[in-house]
Chains A and B, each alone.
Chain A
Amino acid sequence: MEDLPELIVSATASGCIYALVALAYLLILRPTSVINFAIGEWAATGAFIGVAVLTPLAWPRLEGPYWLALVAVLVILGLLGWLVEVVTVRPLIRRGAGITSPILALLGVLVIFRESLTMLFGADPLPSPPPFGFKRVALGPFAGASQQFLIIGATFAVFVAVWLFFERTVWGRAFEAVALNRRAAALIGINLRRVTALAFAAGAMVAGLAGLLMTPLTSAHYMMGLPLAIQGFTALVIGGVGRVEGALLGGLLLAFVEQLGARYLPIPSGLTLGFPFVLLIVFLFLRPGGLIAPREAC
């Protein structure tokens, strides 16, 4: 009987990782209409930066505290996201390229990031210590690894912060205005270039955070980006591309279907690999807007 509460903790933690990746997609997609599949590699970059700061396994072998890893991930990924926008996306937009051009360019960025990570950190998976150790934590019947509870707490904090940003700040309103109507937003004086750059920086920071948080459970490795990109994108489609809450809901739903299915469905566990794709197809057919519909322009 202890299985279900344990599984709820595990699925919620996994769902939170998917949700963070979905949020990273959404932060870029909403104001720019660009789907950035390099998000997964950005998460991997965050994971490797975490390993480099926290352990002696990779340069600069700091064995530093967790807060330092967090700051390093947010700062470096923010800069990288901004740089990617400036170098690859902005020139294309300036020249009036179609929407597919930045998407293709970002696929190139994906390859560059993956190969760079392999060259810098090698092909071996690198483990990372969790800030609160590996011990099992139990909150009543809900038991799991301390890192799983940290992931859940941190994810909810990020989502609350992002929601408040969009709902309560002028900058958030500017993002929303650009998302609703780019041309009208420009006409009322919103700096589109700055919004786009900030969107890429924020998306990269959230993706990097997802990588940092999941590494103690999975290790950092150069192949981790693509599965995350797929799971995050699926979560985004399920939840709906228009709202922050949708990313969270989509991530959680995907993880619960995966893990409850793997545990309780009378099918070979290998078939659970297909769950994200089945969900993706089902939602694209039946509810292409996702679970939560975006706000309409007034």
Chain B
Amino acid sequence: MSSCRLSCWAVAALLAVQTASASAQDTIKIGVITDRVASAKFYAEPVTRGVELGAKVLNDKGGALGKKLQLIIEDDQNKPDVSAAKARKLVDDGVAAIVSNTGSPATQQAQTVSLETRTLHLTPANSADTLTTLLDNPYFFQTGPLASIQLATLMAYTKSRGFKAVAIVRDNSALSQSFADSFRQGLDKVGIKVALEEVIPQGATSAVANLQKVRAEKVDAILQAGVLGPEMLQFFRAYQQLGMKEPILGSYNLSIPAYLTMAKDLMEGVVFVDAFDLDKPEAKLFADVYVKEYGEPPSSLPAYGWDGIRLLALAMEKAGSLDKEKLRAAMQSTTSFVGAIGAKGASWGFRDGKRTGFDPQGAVVRVIKDNKHGPVVYAGQK
């Protein structure tokens, strides 16, 4: 009796192993590192949603290399050490590639694993210019618009408006300070004076004093370099309360849709850098699919993930196998990829051995209208 039961268990276990093995052979595993709880959650979650939608649409059409794409999603809490640990786990799980939708420092750290294990690694939305320069990792590719490209586009727009003197308003986070420094350098290059820089500290209960100073300087425009939601809300509240009319120009941080909820009806007319133009056919196609799936119009963020997973699938088809070196070479040879992200006429490519693929003319400036991310008012750096 006992030996019979043992045999039954053994057969069941064998069948289970065989089924799992067959299932694994039918799919291509792709690891996704996202931030579900911490400070990068704002943009990480929507980008990951775009990856999921892209994978679903690709799978409906047969996937890649005749196999379905299977996403394994890990939360790194936007912590560099956790991100590297999650990358290691994904590699151990047998992923063919990793997509990092988290903060830039976390993506940087995860690269140590992709470099060591020669795993194709892509970040579709990170903007830090240093991600491909701090570590010489030939397996890592960046497709989102670099911070420098976005800044140059915003500065070109600022200059086109004829502004002579502006104020920079930021919070006291490291990222905001970095934005403000970049703004300063960019403004300096195009000959626009920074009349003052105001800091709204974390935990402030009012930004009235800061904006009174800005109002007193009679600047032509305000560059909003803040990244912390509550402090940005203070800024917009005080701006409204003081009846100010100076144009507000924002970083690409303002493309995060959560701000529209947080500062509802306070951001009318604010312009911000983005990389999404709904008049572009590829963007419209993406938006239509998104609306059909989720019943709401997308912001630009899911489009980054959508493009990222499509780019990976394309590289797999091009490589003809999941061989790590062939995958890397296929990705490196990408040219003229037109995605949902980017201005009309812009395309991606990793030319001349570069691993940052975004077209320098691909960023746009959009305006907020009716509490929504509205039309493009400027494109490129001309």
Q: A residues touching B (Cβ–Cβ < 8 Å)?
A: 3, 6-7, 10-11, 13-14, 17-18, 57, 118, 122-127, 134, 136, 143-145, 214, 217-219, 221, 223-224, 226-228, 230-231, 255, 258-260, 262-263, 268-270, 272-273
Instruction: State the CA gap A157–B251 with chains docked (Å).
Output: 43
Q: Count A-B contacts at CB 8 Å.
A: 108
Interface residues on B, range: 35 or more
- Whether, in the assembled complex, B262 has its beta carbon less than 8 Å from a beta carbon of chain A, the answer is yes
- Whether, in the assembled complex, B321 has its beta carbon less than 8 Å from a beta carbon of chain A, the answer is no
A272 touches B201 (CB 8 A): yes
| Apart from the given pairs A124-B229, A136-B243, 5 other A-B contacts in the complex at a CB distance below 8 Å | A136-B241, A218-B233, A223-B230, A263-B213, A272-B199
* Least distance between B183 CB and chain A CB atoms (Å): 15
Residues of A within 8 A of B212 (CB): 3, 6-7, 263
21 CB < 8 A contacts A-B: A3-B212, A10-B206, A13-B206, A118-B37, A123-B38, A125-B230, A127-B233, A136-B243, A218-B204, A218-B233, A224-B230, A228-B203, A258-B209, A260-B209, A262-B210, A262-B213, A268-B197, A270-B172, A273-B172, A273-B199, A273-B201
Q: Could you mark each residue 123-135 of chain B with 1 if its beta carbon is under 8 Å from any beta carbon of chain A, else 0?
A: 0000000000000
Among B229, B241, B261, the most chain A Cβ lie within 10 Å of the Cβ of B241
Residues of A within 8 A of B39 (CB): 123
Q: CB < 8 Å: which of A18, A145, A231 contacts B241?
A: A145
Residues of B within 8 A of A122 (CB): 37, 41
Instruction: State the CA gap A269–B196 with chains docked (Å).
Output: 10
* Least distance between A37 CB and chain B CB atoms (Å): 15
Q: CB < 8 Å: which of A6, A224, A228, A269 contacts B208?
A: A6
Instruction: State the CA gap A207–B216 with chains docked (Å).
Output: 36
Q: CB < 8 Å: which of A10, A14, A219, A255 contacts B229?
A: A219
- Whether, in the assembled complex, B240 has its beta carbon less than 8 Å from a beta carbon of chain A, the answer is yes
Q: A6-B212, A127-B261 are in contact. Are A226 and B41 (CB under 8 A)?
A: no
Among B209, B229, B258, B261, the most chain A Cβ lie within 10 Å of the Cβ of B209
Q: CB < 8 Å: which of A13, A118, A123, A221 contacts B205?
A: A13
Residues of B within 8 A of A259 (CB): 206, 208-209
* Least distance between B31 CB and chain A CB atoms (Å): 23
- Whether, in the assembled complex, B218 has its beta carbon less than 8 Å from a beta carbon of chain A, the answer is no
B233 touches A7 (CB 8 A): no
- Whether, in the assembled complex, B202 has its beta carbon less than 8 Å from a beta carbon of chain A, the answer is yes
